[in-house]
Amino acid sequence: MAAAASASVRAAMPAGQITVNGRSYKPPRRPTVAICVDGFDPAYLQQGLKDGILPNMAQFVRHGFAATARGVMPSFTNPNNTSILTGTVPAVHGISGNYYLDRRTGKEVMITDASALRCETILGRLSQAGVRVAGVTAKDKLREIIGYRMKDGIVFSSQKAKDATLANAGIDNVEALVGRKTPDQYDPDLSYFVLDAGARLIERRAADLLYLSLSDVIQHSYAPGEPEANAFMTEIDRRIGRLVELNAVVGVTGDHGMNDKSRPDGTPNVIWLEDVLNARFGAGAVRVICPITDPFVRHHGALGSFVRVYLRGDQSRIAAMMATTRALDGVELVLTGAEAARRFETPPEYEGDFTVVANTHVVIGSSAVLHDLSGLKGRRLRSHGGLSEQHMPFLLSEPLTPAYAAKARRTEVRNFDVYDYLLNGIAAA
């Protein structure tokens, strides 16, 4: 097959280690790919292995390396993708939600660019050192963070594939590259397109270090073992196999897990926290911010298991408000903003006056009138954001060096260690 020819990277690769945010990385000696399967709950892997539908990931488990890793809190897309890209925690990189309240302006802001990013990324830094890099994301909201300070790199989203030009993406004619049209934002092809584009870039020898980030639309809608979920995982696995055929070193992890957040009758299990606190403490007493809010609302209605509460006016009631919140059925943890920043390693200025985390099967909304749940179309709500969605698989196509095998036994594996393990921890890389 044509694949075998693309084994080596170009000759002008930099020698030595490159330091990014206090960690050092060896330049790739073979095409190296980190994949972030969005919403990759460990249950999808377990179920898929049990059902025998994931032959390539099964191969990683048997002959490469497999662990269950922990991501960063809150267990949302932007903080975790940014951690994987920077190799560090939100307190360093600056992104602790998809959506936040800017205390200085009082405005609510959706993160769709890199303006909140406050450190270098691994792809950006390695590209400046001469490594040829590429990032492909399902969700366009991550494109600017992935492409941050990239030199001569390629970066585009499948969501807006048709808009990619040499000037804005380092590549044009992406639809021709992949061989089909730009997918709809809620189509599972949004993820397949990303992996197919990655394989094409390696076939063309256009990049040696890649980041491929998928979408969790399917996981929000279907539990492990449901036909739609199994079909999706089968397609992902097949494409991972193609990257291995191309002699790439492949790491597969996720940004967060996913859990069923519905009552037995199928209705969403929601605490409308802004309504509860305003009813108890007076209209307008608090504003509840849901950091899961993003341009993909149809499948989760902006409901996750982590919110930040901002008091309006009288701050003396914070203890009473926290006590009221703590007593609600389904609340797992209530922390002051400062406590949350310390415990979750987030930037303190982006925390609220207090932070609330719901348990495995509960989500927290602001006010019922502000959330549109019609997109669920009667399906059970599945979502993330809490401590219960902090874990994801961490799979490598090849075995670790003895030093890294020892490290993996000694220290907890984090999803944002994936480039460290890929570039420094695999003998054949």
Stretch that binds Zn ion, among 64-72, 234-242, 254-262, 308-316 (CB under 5 A): 254-262
Output the smallest distance, CB 413 to Zn ion, in A. Answer: 19
Q: Kindly state the number of chain residues that form the binding site for Zn ion, as judged by CB under 5 A.
A: 4
208 is a contact residue toward Zn ion (CB under 5 A):
no
353 is a contact residue toward Zn ion (CB under 5 A):
no
Residue 85's CB is within 10 A of a number of other CB atoms, namely 30
Contacts with Zn ion in 112-151 (CB under 5 A)?
none
User: Whose Cβ is closer to Zn ion: residue 98's or residue 278's?
Assistant: 98
77 is a contact residue toward Zn ion (CB under 5 A):
yes
Stretch that binds Zn ion, among 19-27, 102-110, 216-224, 406-414 (CB under 5 A): 216-224
Stretch that binds Zn ion, among 129-137, 239-247, 251-259, 344-352 (CB under 5 A): 251-259
294 is a contact residue toward Zn ion (CB under 5 A):
no
Output the smallest distance, CB 177 to Zn ion, in A. Answer: 25
- Binding test (CB under 5 A) with Zn ion, winner from 41, 189, 208, 255: 255
- Binding test (CB under 5 A) with Zn ion, winner from 196, 216, 398, 417: 216
Output the smallest distance, CB 39 to Zn ion, in A. Answer: 5
Stretch that binds Zn ion, among 34-42, 190-198, 337-345, 416-424 (CB under 5 A): 34-42
Residue nearest Zn ion (C-beta atom): 77
Q: Which residues bind Zn ion (CB under 5 A)?
A: 38, 77, 216, 255
